[in-house]
Copies of this chain bind each other. A is one copy, B any other.
Amino acid sequence: MPKYQKQFRILVAVDCIIFGFDGAELKILLVKRDLEPEKGKWSLMGGFITERENFDRGGARILKQLTGLEGVYMEQLHAFGHPDRDPSERTISVAYFALIDIHKFENQINSNYHAEWFPVKKIPKLIFDHSNMVAKARERLRYKSAFHPILFELLPEKFTLPQLQSLYEGIFDTEFDKRNFSRKIHSTKLLVKQKDKDKESSKKGAYYYKLDKRRYAANLHAFLNIIPNPVIFNRL
């Protein structure tokens, strides 16, 4: 088999923008970089692609290294290739974003990495072009979640409508009418009402819901219409 002799070869990395939701705020999981250059600075979790690995697998491996989680919602975001993005040697990076249930992570955290959750509105200075990656991931999350039911991935198995609404409101940085919101959510028929209530955050308590997994799996690519029109228009 012939070889491409004269071309030059480049380091290829995968970086992960890991989103979580703690009930109040959308957050991103960052690590303190453990190799030079920029050692000790805040960074996305990432790593070089290995010889027999495609991007999806690389992303999944890197996510698992840090969080211990598998089978997580992940999606390729964008390939970043500015020639000077890594000052020590040209490296391209294929960025992925992941949506995880923040509570699952807490049990499985890999303490080899110094990892910390940061609210998306208070992200520290990041190495290289990682801030661009985060900005692009937030944009994509808004765009995608405006049309597709993916935000459930950020919630625990049982969640309440007020929790769900506050997640949407956080991502779109606005407030929705709860009657309209509830009607729209129910019209998707994706939720199954439970018998028990969450009494943590109110005296009356809010009913828990679970995803109807069958319908959910069949509707991941379906179109929702949760976001009121003027909002969609201004924010996407």
B51:A83 contact, CB within 8 angstroms: yes
Q: How far is the CB of A198 from chain B (nearest CB, A)?
A: 34
* In the complex, chain B residues whose CB is within 8 Å of the CB of A88: 1-4
Which B residue sits closest to A9, measured CB to CB?
B9
- Does the CB pair B222–A52 fall under 8 Å? no
Q: Which of A75-129 contact B (CB under 8 A)?
A: 76, 78-79, 81-83, 87-92, 94
Q: How many copies does the complex hold?
A: 2
Main secondary structure on A side of the interface with B? loop
Distance in angstroms from A230 CB to nearest chain B CB is: 11
A236 within 8 A of B: yes
Does any Cβ of B come within 8 Å of A49's Cβ? yes
Q: How far is the CB of A225 from chain B (nearest CB, A)?
A: 10
Tell me the minimal C-beta distance from A190 to chain B in angstroms.
16
Closest beta carbon of chain B to A98's beta carbon, Å: 17
Does A37 sit within 8 A of B, measured CB to CB?
yes
For this complex, into which size category does the number of interface residues on chain A fall? 35 or more
How many Å lie between the Cα of A7 and that of B88 in the bound state?
13
Question: Nearest Cβ distance between residue A113 and chain B, in whole angstroms?
Answer: 18
Whether A78 lies near B76 (C-beta < 8 A) is yes
Task: Contact check, A37 vs B83: say whether CB atoms are below 8 A apart.
Answer: no
Q: Give Cα A236–Cα B62 distance, bound, in whole angstroms.
A: 31
Within 8 Å by CB of A4, from B2, B51, B89, B94, lies B89
Q: Is A221 an interface residue (CB 8 A)?
A: yes
Instruction: List the interface of chain A (C-beta within 8 A of B).
Output: 1-4, 7-12, 35-37, 48-49, 51-55, 58, 76, 78-79, 81-83, 87-92, 94, 221-223, 232-233, 236
Could you jot down 26 A-B contacts, CB within 8 Å? A1-B87, A2-B35, A2-B88, A3-B89, A4-B48, A4-B88, A4-B89, A7-B48, A8-B48, A9-B10, A10-B10, A10-B11, A10-B12, A12-B81, A49-B81, A51-B83, A53-B83, A54-B81, A54-B82, A54-B83, A79-B94, A81-B94, A222-B233, A223-B232, A223-B233, A223-B236
